[in-house]
Chains A and B, each alone.
Chain A
Amino acid sequence: MIELRAQEFDPWRELRAFETAHPELHGKAGASAVFAGTMRDFNQSDDVAAMFLEHYPGMTEKHLSAIRDSAMRRWPLQAALVIHRIGEVRPGDTIVLVAAWSAHRAAAFDACRFIMEDLKSKAPFWKKERLRSGERWVDSNTPGFSN
């Protein structure tokens, strides 16, 4: 499932709801890998009060579905979930939730990472930060690998 949300959401509640709605995972999914991205109140040493998340209606949904489908084909996953915020976002809000379920950890870990990195580098979203001094577009995402 992929979904864009205009309202704040609790990622842990979403995971519980998803598993409840997919009883076929119960007793079968030995591994669940989850990434939750949360809005910070600072960036490049400036305080950030809020952010606007712009997207490309139509293309964003299509791209997220394609990433998810591609992960489902590449790894033996039992389920995969992507929820991403749009619109006005505040510090502490969850921006993105990615989760993957599989029998063993390798597929779940790798698929969750793959979906997240593809989303970060290709999914059409743009962040505009609101600072005390005005507004600015975030011009690039940080690298996804630490070494």
Chain B
Amino acid sequence: MIRVKFFASLREQFGAAELDLPTRPGMSVAEVWNAAAGQPLPDYVLMARNLEYVQSDSVVEDGDEIAFFPPVTGG
């Protein structure tokens, strides 16, 4: 299983802060999004794997924490 987290407007859009998903061998971050969100990954969405930024083709492993969020607006 992997843990999927959504932040800010994405969390509100999907109505959930986090959910657990079964993994498949070679599953990419984009495929995690498809499985969790049920729609294609929008260009503006940022992704992190285990607290580090990754690209959408990055491959996930069992036990990972994958996060999706909109452009950041801190500072």
Contact among A53, A59, A137, A140 with B9 in the assembled complex (CB-CB below 8 Å): A137
- Which of A8-16, A71-79, A116-124 is the contact stretch? A116-124
Distance of B2 from chain A, by nearest CB (Å): 15
Contact among B7, B8, B51, B72 with A122 in the assembled complex (CB-CB below 8 Å): B72
Nearest chain A residue, comparing its CB with the CB of B69? A124
Distance of A107 from chain B, by nearest CB (Å): 21
The tally of CB-CB contacts under 8 A between chains A and B is 72
A46 CB within 8 Å of chain B: no
Distance of B24 from chain A, by nearest CB (Å): 25
Residues from chain A with a CB closer than 8 A to the CB of B48 are: 56, 59, 124
Sample of 16 more A-B contacts, CB < 8 Å, known A56-B7, A56-B67: A54-B8, A56-B5, A59-B48, A59-B67, A116-B75, A120-B72, A122-B53, A124-B7, A124-B72, A125-B72, A125-B73, A125-B74, A138-B73, A139-B73, A141-B71, A141-B72
Residues in chain B within 8 A of chain A (CB atoms): 5, 7-9, 48, 51-53, 67, 69-75
